[in-house]
Amino acid sequence: MMSETISGGHLVAKALKAEGVEVIYTLCGGHIIDIYDGCVDEGIEVIDVRHEQVAAHAADGYARITGKPGCAVVTAGPGTTDAVTGVANAFRAESPMLLIGGQGALSQHKMGSLQDLPHVDMMTPITKFAATVPSTERVADIVSMAFRECYHGAPGPSFLEIPRDVLDAKVPLEKARIPAAGHYRASTRQQGDPEAIERLADLLAHAEKPCILLGSQVWTCRATDAAIDFVRSLNVPAYMNGSGRGTLAPGDPHHFQLSRRYAFTEADLIIIVGTPFDFRMGYGKRLSPTAKVVQIDLDYRTVGKNRDIDLGIVGDAGLILAATAQAASGRIENGVARRKEWLDELRAVETQAYEKRLPRQLSGAQPIDPYRLVHEINEFLTEDTIYIGDGGDIVTFSGQVVQPKSPGHWMDPGPLGTLGVGMAFAMAAKQARRDKEVLCLFGDGAFSLTGWDFETMVRFDLPFIGVIGNNSSMNQIRYGQAAKYGEDRARVGNTLGDIRYGEFAKLLGGYGEEVRDPAEIRPALERARQSGKPSLINVWVDPEVYAPGTMNQTMYK
Ligand SMILES: Cc1ncc(C[n+]2csc(CCOP(=O)(O)OP(=O)(O)O)c2C)c(N)n1
Ligand SMILES: [Mg+2]
């Protein structure tokens, strides 16, 4: 009797299924079609996009939204190089995804086969693990190994190339190693050093003006409840950044945003959770020199990098915050109430900053003040709207004003600052969470990098509300050119056409509108919501107005 056989592509699909991956994002090529055939058998959805960059960003987005690893599958050579940006973005954003790339047949190794490139060498510096699958029997085994590596320390991407003959060959089923779901990797959550947690509890007991920054890892670790319990029980004002935004809802007494610089200057204890001292944090230089600084991170390499700290704890944000709250309870007593004055002080700074800006947010100016656009978006978001920002200056405006109403409802590229993530993130978010509304704010420059995948949103019936802050420019860069070289030399390499993206949406089968009157922003957003289609509301904003965040960028000084 002949034994049952299985091909490499089907083994890939079995390994993805074991990991709980429900969808792959892909652009086809002859090198990878056997994986599609395997996905048919395993019930894994195949979403085919218009550019491999989008496939990789979507896998990154899927990981962020679901907490499971995302997967993109691309062909050899240009398919893989097109996906490099998506992998790089996931690397800097600590997002666990697997990119599988095709490769020429092993039997033609280095003979000059079609689309042959040294993919593993190219991917090694931007992944946690990059390897060639050497034999069909080991396909599922190495896929599971790649997933294991994604969760070492702070998560990140892995890359596998599978040569065409390895993928297409069939081997006897009993010769293939097929790791079983739930039996090939362990949780990598770390508790943190108990002694360090005691020391943090002590610092909290003595602090009069503590504050905490809840960074992206608070969401990565799904530490929302622990973080909320921590700030409430210890009465600590909280700031949020990256995916940590929305941990506390706007209006929560411990939710602060506009007074961060003041707090970092005045506090006596600053706790940084799950975000590095990178450019977004002024490399840690803007913290009070007399404050005690504590850093909690999944990655030991991030703790103490770029500035000295008083205490570092490596591990899972949720476990550490919960253990610290427990260790501190009963130790603080009067301290917690005494902090009321500190919270009131910050709230006053916060209110003043808000009131100063409010007239701009309500501006009736034409062309539209970008502040008005982001204000309208903020008012429009519900607790079930996932907000995505993809652009330059316009997204910098939104960072100040837009507040997600729920945890995990904010997506930005992360520290790679990659333009073009928006459509892919919207795709992944809507596909993974059909119950959610998805709104993406694009710059017109950012949109045009990957905008053709609006068609994929239509083809897969993934309704979302796209908003373009259209200034016919790459304005964030233009600002720097004007500042450095003068207005008369500022319009070089940054000017875009006046594109009616609302018409583009209609052309591809979606809903679209042009908005020039600020009073029309809200009604247009409502109509996009009602349309039930992928939509683009093209809002013409004033190109002469720049965000303060853009103007303060140190690279222009
Ligand atoms: C892939 C990529 N290319 C280039 C840049 C550099 N860059 C940063 S902001 C910006 C301008 C973006 O223009 P747009 O999306 O229209 O936003 P605006 O600044 O005009 O609001 C550019 C080109 C980048 N961050 N990512
Ligand atoms: Mg622009």
Residue 556 pLDDT: 59
Nearest CA to ligand 1 atom 10: 392
Using a 6 Å cutoff on CB, does residue 420 contact ligand 1? yes
Instruction: Give the other-Cβ count within 10 Å of 461's Cβ.
Output: 12
Tell me the backbone φ, ψ of residue 192, rounded to 5 degrees: 90, 150
Q: How far is the CA of 478 from the centre of ligand 1 (A)?
A: 10
Provide, for the chain, the percentages of residues in helix, strand and coil under a 3-state DSSP scheme, each rounded to the nearest 5: 45, 15, 35
Tell me the backbone φ, ψ of residue 546, rounded to 5 degrees: -115, 155
Query: Measured between alpha carbons, how far is residue 250 from residues 225, 255, 318, 379, 381 in Å?
Result: 16, 6, 21, 12, 12
Using a 6 Å cutoff on CB, does residue 393 contact ligand 1? yes
Using a 6 Å cutoff on CB, does residue 456 contact ligand 1? no
| Tokens of residue 545, six digits | 């107005």
Residue 2 pLDDT: 67
* Cα–Cα distance measured from residue 120 to residue 160, given in angstroms and rounded to the nearest whole number: 8
Using a 6 Å cutoff on CB, does residue 391 contact ligand 1? yes
Mean pLDDT per 10-residue section of the chain, whose length is 557 residues = 89 98 97 98 98 98 98 98 98 98 94 91 98 98 98 97 98 97 96 97 95 98 98 97 98 98 98 96 94 98 97 98 93 76 98 97 98 98 98 97 98 97 98 98 98 98 98 97 95 98 98 98 98 98 94 69
CA neighbours closer than 13 Å in the CB half-sphere of residue 218: 33
* Cα–Cα distance measured from residue 99 to residue 91, given in angstroms and rounded to the nearest whole number: 12
H or E element: which one contains 202? helix 194-206
Distance from the first to the final alpha carbon of the chain = 76
Q: Which atom of ligand 1 is nearest to the CA of 496?
A: 16
Nearest one of 299, 371, 98, 335 to 209, comparing CA atoms: 335
Q: How far is the CA of 445 from the centre of ligand 2 (A)?
A: 5
List residues bridging with 292 in a β-sheet.
269
Q: Which atom of ligand 1 is nearest to the CA of 420?
A: 1
Nearest CA to ligand 1 atom 5: 419
- Check if the beta carbon of residue 231 is closer than 8 Å to that of residue 237: yes
DSSP 378-405: HHH--TTEEEEEESSHHHHHHHHH---S
Q: How far is the CA of 264 from the centre of ligand 2 (A)?
A: 32
CA neighbours closer than 13 Å in the CB half-sphere of residue 119: 32
List residues bridging with 312 in a β-sheet.
295
Q: How far is the CA of 500 from the centre of ligand 2 (A)?
A: 13
Q: Which atom of ligand 1 is nearest to the CA of 471?
A: 20
Ranges of H-type helices in 74-188 = 78-93, 119-123, 139-150, 164-168
Instruction: With H, G, I as helix, E, B as strand and everything else as coil, classify residue 7.
Output: strand
Q: How far is the CA of 449 from the centre of ligand 1 (A)?
A: 10
Q: How far is the CA of 419 from the centre of ligand 1 (A)?
A: 6
Among 85, 396, 412, 474, which is best to mutate for testing ligand 1, by the most ligand atoms less than 8 A from CB? Answer: 474
Using a 6 Å cutoff on CB, does residue 473 contact ligand 1? yes
Residue 150 pLDDT: 98
Q: How far is the CA of 246 from the centre of ligand 2 (A)?
A: 26
List residues bridging with 214 in a β-sheet.
240, 273
- Angle, CA 244 vertex, CA 241 and CA 246 arms, to 5°: 100
DSSP 404-426: -SSTT-EE---TT--TT-HHHHH
3-state secondary structure 424-455: HHHHHHHHHCCCCEEEEEEEHHHHHHHHHHHH
DSSP conformation class of 255: B
Among 448, 476, 501, 550, which is best to mutate for testing ligand 1, by the most ligand atoms less than 8 A from CB? Answer: 476
Using a 6 Å cutoff on CB, does residue 150 contact ligand 1? no
Radius of gyration of the chain (CA): 25
